[in-house]
Structure 1
């Protein structure tokens, strides 16, 4: 017969792991299912990325996170979350994608790419790093266009256009320029956006010195094998180009939320419906945790302010399960 878990957690990012830790401490049976590797979003961050937050603000479950400097690196974060998973012996299935969720009597059946499970409650702790915001311009499908930036060495002696105004675009522009790329930054806004305080002056100085070219109030309108067209207030500019790094942000998997029945607002923000006190959605027994709660406002929730979701959720689930037994 099928095992029925108290909680099935979709997503093995930091908040999904936090939910697993809380379930374990509450004595609840649980399973975490993740379509990629452990903390898949962090794995896909740039190789040399440094977090804006300090290490203690990235801790989950009260397990200490120490780093060499005040701001931990991607490598240190990966090490920390691996050690959390191992030390707590968290029950995790990796590289297993959840395909559907449907009620079956008083429980939910969760169908995945490798099997199916029964659970009394479900926690959806999806990140937003898997689906990029597209430019929607001709040529975006070309292999030279990348929505993820990993290692600057790859772009040595290449003509690179970086699209965006925030942290990821600033890091990509500076890193690739320092490794020998000819970099042009294309920014839709009239100025740079929200950038780490130790990075922004560096980028501003590189632009002022002409070492990194920048077009503000500008948009890419077409991408070709060897060129890129940019629309500026002064008219169209055509640049020789080898690669486009479109650092235009990411979004949660709204299609999955809609498929399982979570209601979303009909405006551009696509806010999912949930109770902020319990994190329960319009689906009884289905909860949201982490950045997915913000819809398209992907800068509302971070590890440091959404790890409390795990505590709220497990407290509510524990209370409900106890009431069901009475």
Structure 2
């Protein structure tokens, strides 16, 4: 039975960074990824641009060369997948980790294709795979989309965009500019302050001039085949014609997977329990890295501020 020093769950930027750190320190490792390399980035909107500049997205001090001040999705895919190729990182792709369990000092990792054994496990699964649903009637209709890729399917359609964060604002602006009739339904009283600073004036101006309709302090209560029903800020029930709903309501980590791995979740945000100095969870030699550390607060961690997790984890493993 081959026992790895480290098994890494997830081949996102932080998972890749953990693999590079393990390789530098001559530790045997393997990444297991259910999709492609940086799968979440691959599923981002086609024309998405990062909030961060290129140097803040770099891993392992490998330069990220971008032709624009803010790199886009395709440049990021080229950068991270290029690193995986150039550094010959050990990755099994299109293989889903089903269960992580521990017996004595060895983890058994069961996947869709087999079993692996490791002294240490790093979970770096991000949060983009499970939509934060509204839990309302009609949400399972085909016209409801929790992921947005490009505006062209929505030309000349009546679109409801739910939310006011970056993803919602990008979807509203892009579909509007391709000829959609856009209405935003926003639970809060204004567009989110976290929206990219170069985009926020654009959406606010489109709302002010009436090009994009918006209902603040409002909430969808039902989605039908041809309409959407919502409660407005005055508590009145409104029904509007609708072809598609783009529910940009955010995403969540796989909490069931974390719990089944033995990790304790705390508070309303289901924050996983870990040591912030080592990233080790309540399960000895089981670590967290990247966005997954934030629980429901998915804005707490991102590539820029979680790149350090790899060094912290490998340092702790070596110290043992």
Q: Report the TM-score when normalising by structure 1.
A: 0.96
Matched residue, 2:217: 217
Mind listing any 5+ residue stretches in structure 2 that lack a counterpart?
none
Q: Name the SS for the 2:264 alignment partner.
A: coil
The answer as to 2:240 corresponding to 1:239 is yes
Q: Quote the offset at 1:70 in angstroms.
A: 1.1
Q: Is contact 2:137–2:223 with CA below 8 Å preserved after alignment?
A: yes
1:62-104, Cα deviation, whole Å (9 max, x unpaired)? 1110100110000000000011101110000011111111123
Q: Quote the offset at 1:27 in angstroms.
A: 0.6
Q: Matches of residues 22-101 of structure 1 in structure 2 within 5 Å?
A: 22-101=21-100
Matched residue, 1:311: 311
Instruction: Give, in whole Å, the separation in 1 of the partners of 2:208 and 2:313.
Output: 49
1:232-257, Cα deviation, whole Å (9 max, x unpaired)? 02311111000000001111100000
1:79-131, Cα deviation, whole Å (9 max, x unpaired)? 00011101110000011111111123321111100001110100000110001
Mind listing any 5+ residue stretches in structure 1 that lack a counterpart?
321-326
Matched residue, 1:324: none
Q: Report the TM-score when normalising by structure 2.
A: 0.98
Matched residue, 1:323: none
Matched residue, 1:154: 153
The answer as to 2:181 corresponding to 1:182 is yes
Q: Matches of residues 272-287 of structure 1 in structure 2 within 5 Å?
A: 272-287=272-287
Report the number of matched residues: 318
Q: Name the SS for the 1:305 alignment partner.
A: helix
Q: Is contact 2:215–2:233 with CA below 8 Å preserved after alignment?
A: no
Matched residue, 1:20: 19
Q: Quote the offset at 1:37 in angstroms.
A: 1.2
Instruction: Give, in whole Å, the separation in 2 of the partners of 1:3 and 1:280.
Output: 23
Instruction: Give, in whole Å, the separation in 1 of the partners of 2:261 and 2:241.
Output: 45
RMSD over aligned Cα atoms: 0.7
After the TM superposition, which parts of structure 1 deviate over 4 Å for at least 4 consecutive aligned residues? Answer: none
Q: Matches of residues 94-113 of structure 1 in structure 2 within 5 Å?
A: 94-113=93-112
Instruction: Give, in whole Å, the separation in 2 of the partners of 1:87 and 1:48.
Output: 26
Instruction: Give, in whole Å, the separation in 2 of the partners of 1:297 and 1:109.
Output: 29
Q: Name the SS for the 2:222 alignment partner.
A: strand
Instruction: Give, in whole Å, the separation in 2 of the partners of 1:102 and 1:191.
Output: 45
Q: Is contact 2:166–2:196 with CA below 8 Å preserved after alignment?
A: yes
